[in-house]
Structure 1
């Protein structure tokens, strides 16, 4: 399945822990747009840039009533140490650790051969429907301009 086939489908429900051990669920975010920004693994350069971009534009996401969430298969303690190391203070970085990659698998973006997700952005509207999705090459940093364009258009 290509990631574009997710568009107009209901987003799968999830309840994942952020880097501080707090539960974050899609149902708690109903009424806001949600950006699931999947990155393969913590402690890697391109993933760091991707998360720093989200953090650096956090106030703009708030202006658009959109909650950005960084998601990877890394365990919560790993995410916490990494967030501290790269100075992430606003962005919630979710652990899709156990069952390993379950959210990524539900979205069809888990790379079985590698044990982690694709690099992808998935935009969910206020009602819980996926309205935009894009997969990136593993070595590419997602373009936030196109993300904000998608947010404005939905």
Structure 2
């Protein structure tokens, strides 16, 4: 399969529907009118990914006050993500499963690492009208700076 180019600010956000760790469907188009932080992480049960997902949960109220819904996305399955969310005590943030077709959402955003079988570690912000406004790929062995994301959101005027 040919690698998609990485999504860029200004591009329309590819729609997707994925199951979360509670087996509920999250559909990007249904979030129209809100901003969405797509927080891609390589794999559950790893220290950096745990830090990234806990950061989403810890900053949930701030993100909500900025009309932003945050979701974590990885190639893991629903049962895996459910157990991991319980272990991390992530109760409010949807942890989405880009499990099958394997990494299809990450591929559509151009951030799938086919040599590894998982996505880049990345934050992508989709605005109220479903356009990409922010894209940042981070080193795999790091936790993204949530303050950077929050500051970006604060500076943006609603679409």
Shorter-chain-normalised TM-score: which range?
Answer: over 0.9
Query: Which residue is 1:126 aligned to?
Result: 128
SS of 2:14's equivalent? coil
Query: Which residue is 1:36 aligned to?
Result: 38
Query: Which residue is 2:83 aligned to?
Result: 81
**Alpha-carbon deviation of 1:150?**
1.4
Query: Which residue is 1:62 aligned to?
Result: 64
TM-score (ref. length: structure 1): 0.96
**Alpha-carbon deviation of 1:140?**
1.1
Unaligned runs of 5+ in 2: none
1:22-72 CA distances to partner (integer Å, 9 max, x unpaired)?
000011111000000000000000000000011011111111010000000
**Alpha-carbon deviation of 1:153?**
2.2
Alignment of 1:87-102 (within 5 A): 87-102=89-104
Query: Which residue is 1:140 aligned to?
Result: 142
Query: Which residue is 2:112 aligned to?
Result: 110
SS of 2:45's equivalent? coil
